[in-house]
Amino acid sequence: MKENVDGSINKYKARLVAKGFHQVHGFDFHENNAFLNGLLEESVFMTQPPGFEVTDRSLICKLNKALYGLKQAPRQWFDRLKSTLLQFGFVGSKCDSSLFIYRHQVHTVYLLVSVYDIIITGSSTSLIQQLTTKIHTAFSLKQLGHFLALEIKYLPNNSTLMTQNKYIRDLLHKTHMVEAHSISSPMVSNCKLSRHGADIFHDPTLYY
């Protein structure tokens, strides 16, 4: 399920995931950094997905493109995205391999990649729109307005407001702390630490 910034449902999604844990480094793949836009360099086969089998169950599927679950899928996706951005005139940052910079006259646009999420910003709104449209010709983009649980809003006074309101609300619901009162520091003021440690936390999955 994909959500909008306000928490409403954007769309429901179903994914076909390959059992990539069967792959052997150096044999099935050579680099691992979805990845559905990545082009495979190796020959990869998979069993027929449940519910989509043909009459002959002995037949298998040959993948033409990367698939969720394949260990090389993230790398193949990033390589294709990188080569496309370079063709469009972006330059890769020497400090961060996930950051790409585009300069045109007096304007600069920054594009940052995290897995299969992209954030793009710069000094010219029209130039950003032109580049976004250009990238959309190569990849199917969805402009959701939030990135890594970060909400970015442009205010009327030309300032930018960055918050994590939705992420915090979801976290409070997950931990059943919606009704909790806020404090200036999220730490108990009278807490006494012990050199011998303490009991194991009852539910460490809350921190995942």
Tell me how far apart the alpha carbons of residues 195 and 27 are, in angstroms, rounded to a whole number: 48
- Tokens 């306000």 sit on residue: 6
Of 22, 126, 132, the C-alpha closest to 88 is 132
Q: What is the tally of structural domains in the chain? A: 1
In a domain, 19, yes or no: yes
In a domain, 22, yes or no: yes
Per-residue pLDDT for the chain (208 aa), expressed as one digit of tens each? Answer: 677 767 788 778 766 666 655 555 555 554 454 445 555 666 777 777 777 778 887 888 887 766 665 666 667 778 888 999 999 999 999 988 899 999 999 999 999 988 777 888 888 989 999 999 998 888 777 776 656 667 777 788 888 787 888 778 888 888 888 888 877 777 777 877 777 777 777 777 776 6
In a domain, 83, yes or no: no
Q: What is the pLDDT of residue 39?
A: 59
Please give the model's pTM, rounded to 2 decimal places: 0.51
Tell me how far apart the alpha carbons of residues 4 and 13 are, in angstroms, rounded to a whole number: 14
In a domain, 42, yes or no: yes
In a domain, 15, yes or no: yes
Q: In what order do the strands lie in the sheet with 150-154?
A: 146-147, 150-154, 160-163
Q: What is the pLDDT of residue 89?
A: 96
Phi–psi pair at 109, nearest 5 degrees: -125, 135
In a domain, 105, yes or no: no
In a domain, 61, yes or no: yes
Give the residue numbers spanning the domain of 33. Answer: 1-74
In a domain, 149, yes or no: no
Q: What is the pLDDT of residue 11?
A: 77
